[in-house]
Amino acid sequence: MATDKLRMIPLGGLGEFGMNCMALRWQDDIIVIDAGLMFPEEELLGVDIVVPDISYLIENRSKVKAILLTHGHEDHIGGLPWILSELNVPVYGTEFTLAYVEGKLEEHRLLDNADLIEMLPGKRFTLGPFSIMPIRVTHSLVDCVALAIHTPVGVVLHTGDFKVDLSPPDGKPFDLHAFAELGKQGVLCLLQDSTNVDRPGYTPSERAVRPRLDEIFAQTKKKLFFSCFSSSIHRIRVAMELAHKHGRKVAIIGRSLDNSTEIAQDLGYLDLPQGLIINPGQIRDQAPDKVCIMISGTQGEPMSALSRAAVNNHKFAHIDAGDTVLLSSRVIPGNEKGIYRMIDHLERRDAKVIHDDGTAGLIHVSGHGSQEELRLMINLVRPKFFIPVHGDYRHLKRHAELAAGMGIVEKVILLEDGDVLEFDKNTAVKNGKVTTGRVCIDSGGSIDVVEDVVIRDRQHLSEDGIVLPIIAINKRTGRVENTPEIVMRGFAIQDDKLVNDARNIVQKTLDNSSAEEKADYAIIKEKIRNDLKRYIQKQTSRRPLIMPVIMEI
């Protein structure tokens, strides 16, 4: 019977970076691993975030038992408000991950009804036919776990995002022993993070950035602006320890950084000396060489604190000639323009900018394992089946080749969003597809879904502009009261003859329409749109958005 198979259905994250979301189903029970978002490409004009299409979960809402989170990055938790507004199910995460989730749900007014349950690394818990063991892994964020899911057909191990760091700053190393134990017991399937599959060797430990950062702190003569991802708690910790060592007070600027440091302090990840932190308003009272300003905005986001400071438009963060700005982060692909524009502004202020351009030394390390760590994990757990996750298709393909080349795995399977993979104890076979895709959301609201047609209209507007024929019709008699007016915006060809001809076309359409048609605004608008579209396309080979406006008199 088909119901005796374990089904694995990726709903996002396989074929793109972000939107990580994976469903596991045994008979009438479904658990979901992660609920991420992704940030839109430029062609998704005006869209703020993109979340996975969860039609499959909504169709099976009574079967969804819980959402399990591997860690607190946006590409793993950012889709939660959207998903929980559709399906109110329990959410499991580690203490730090849930602290991030709480803030996110509060913003969307969903916290009061949410059921958030803490899971502890090394403590097994059961959900229906699934028994889940969270295992501590290291990443650029703290309190991250892999999930070993014991199912009726065998163990499915999802690594989440990880690198093998045996000496992280928080003293909670990657749990090699637990993975080795799993390998001894036998693992049916390993799902592994593909992000850094192109990088040879090992990813350095978080501690590896300390010597170079220490040098920069020692050499900086004036104010030091330190910027990193707000979730990089390890990096924030190192920066604060170095500020203290070099006699600098720390001011924190930026909502996301403020929020992260507060959570990290509450949960014991940051233990700060008395008097180290000052209020942003106190920066001007300090000698320039006695202050370190931790500021958000490493990716050049237009309204971030650092972008505003770069154009001298921030209340507290003033960048003067000779100040140092240190970007302890990588350039996320797609953000290059914004980052370099911001660096240009900083250079104009005569600041010294240090960023990860290959010449600055080790000021940033990745949170994802490189090739040798990926091989180490496969060697430790020796899975029967291997599935690469978390990456564009090319990353998944490279990762599949790396795993197959080791000669350990019985079968390597390349999955994409929507594929249904069915397991029993001995086989893994693709069987069908479910609906997946992306849902575009505007203005961060959990309900402002942008339909494809809206995106199409925005692209249309950005390429060919808009033409508004304005017609005044007497409501009582149905008579056209004056010559139609034509307004063109963003339409490159502003030719008087074209405008006059367009006016005549509209007039002609009106003249050839009956009083009944003119009284039905939907019909008359469509007739005008079609006639005008045909004419403009023929004359100019352009296709502007045509929106007839009927004014009732």
* H or E stretch covering 374: helix 371-381
In angstroms, the CA 190 to CA 383 distance is 6
What's the pLDDT tens digit per position in 193-216?
999 999 999 999 999 999 999 999
Q: Which residues pair with 249 in a beta bridge?
A: 291
Residue 161: pLDDT over 50: yes
User: What pLDDT score does 224 carry?
Assistant: 98
21 backbone dihedrals φ, ψ, rounded to 5°? -165, 120
Q: Identify whether the C-beta of residue 67 lies closer than 8 Å to the C-beta of residue 91.
A: yes
pTM, two decimals, is 0.83
The mean per-residue pLDDT over the stretch 424-435 comes to 94
> Is the pLDDT assigned to residue 445 strictly greater than 60?
no
Task: Give the max Cα distance, the chain.
Answer: 87
Residue 193 bears catalytic tag: yes
Q: Catalytic pick from 73, 139, 355, 368?
A: 368
Is the pLDDT at 331 greater than 80? The verdict is: yes
Beta-bridge mates of residue 251: 278, 293
Render the burial of 19-33: b for 16+ CB within 10 Å, e for the rest.
Answer: bbbbbbbbbebbbbb
User: How many percent of the chain have pLDDT more than 90?
Assistant: 71
The pLDDT, as a whole number, for residue 358 is 86
CA-to-CA distance for 175 and 82, rounded, in angstroms?
33
Q: What is the pLDDT of residue 446?
A: 45
Q: Name the helix (H) or strand (E) containing 343.
A: helix 336-348
* Among 363, 293, 360, 299, CA closest to 328: 363
471-523 pLDDT tens trace: 888 767 777 778 888 888 877 666 788 888 888 989 988 888 887 777 777 78
387 forms beta bridges with 191
Q: What DSSP line would sit under 207-256, residue for residue? A: GGGHHHHHHHHHH--S-EEEE--TT-HHHHHHHHHHHHHTT-EEEEESHH
In sequence order, what are the beta bridge partners of 489? 466
For position 65, what pLDDT does the model report?
Answer: 97
Residue that wins the pLDDT comparison between 499 and 190: 190
pLDDT grade for 453, boundaries at 50, 70 and 90:
low
Angstrom distances, CA of residue 406 to CA of 186, 396, 399, 402: 18, 16, 11, 7
Decide if 71 is catalytic: no
CA distances from 19 to 33, 50, 80, 122, 392 (A): 11, 7, 10, 27, 12
396 token code pair: 């998944």
Angle between helix axes 233-245 and 210-219 (nearest 10 degrees) is 40
Q: What average pLDDT does range 439-461 have in this prediction? A: 63
pLDDT at residue 43 tops 80: no
Question: Residue 442 — pLDDT band, cuts 50, 70, 90?
Answer: low
DSSP helix/strand/coil, 99: helix
Out of 143, 161, 175, 193, pick the active-site residue: 193
